[in-house]
Amino acid sequence: MNSSSSIYAHSRELVGLRKKYQLLMRMVLAIIILWLATILVYFATFAHALETNGSTAPPVPQGESLRVRELVVVDANGTPRVRIAAPLPDPIMLGKRSKRGDSSSGVLLYDAEGNERGGYVTDEERNVALTLDEINRAAVHLGVNDRGEMHFALSNGRGGYAAMGVLPSGAWFRLEKPGQPATVLPATTEEKPK
């Protein structure tokens, strides 16, 4: 092979390498431009989120749902103050756990000492109740079931009790005062919840 054909072959090879180099440089430049555009879009979205909600934290992706059996919110001392659970644990009063009765699910509120002080719960019998508790007992109780019965009761734990409700047979009202017979309206033999 003579030197002129060798030069010609190397020249063609050099031209081909130059074209590949130019193509590679264009691809690198395109990738850099796309990368910069992505960063600009992210920061523009972040800036818009800051203007919208005033937060300094980056946006947090939000899911469709959170599926848990229990969620406990504790105070600075680690004492549970709110519990959402299915089922709820038995209550703790004055440091001792006692039996709840029927299995319940819902939301419970606790005081700074960890005593159960109220909640919004449902049980296995399809009853629902909203309570505000003193230590060891419900002071305010609003209960409803799925059979046409509901009641509202107030109790001071020292014999004072007032309640009213509705049964399938009609409405009722009950007052109790220590040392006196209960007043029930209308006077019937049908059992009133207590």
pLDDT of residue 29: 77
Residues contacting 40, CB < 8 A, separation 6+: none
pLDDT of residue 183: 92
**Are 86 and 73 a contacting pair, CB within 8 Å?**
no
pLDDT of residue 69: 93
pLDDT of residue 60: 61
- pLDDT digits over 140-190, tens only? 999 999 988 999 999 998 889 999 999 998 999 999 999 999 999 997 555
C-alpha 80/C-alpha 115 separation (Å) is 9
Per-residue exposure over 45-76, b if at least 16 CB sit within 10 Å of its own CB, e if not: eeeeeeeeeeeeeeeeeeeeeeeeeeeeeeee
Kindly give the parts of the chain with pLDDT less than 70: 1-2, 47-61, 188-194
Q: What percent of the chain has pLDDT over 90?
A: 45
* 3-class secondary-structure state, position 9: helix
pLDDT of residue 14: 75
**Are 107 and 82 a contacting pair, CB within 8 Å?**
yes
pLDDT of residue 151: 94
Residues of the chain with CATH 3.90.930: 70-185
- Residue 86 sits at the vertex; the CA angle it makes with 82 and 91, to the nearest 5 degrees, is 55
- Which residue(s) pair with 152 in the sheet? 142, 164
**Are 73 and 80 a contacting pair, CB within 8 Å?**
yes
CATH number, span 70-185: 3.90.930
pLDDT of residue 85: 95
Residue 35 amino acid letter: W
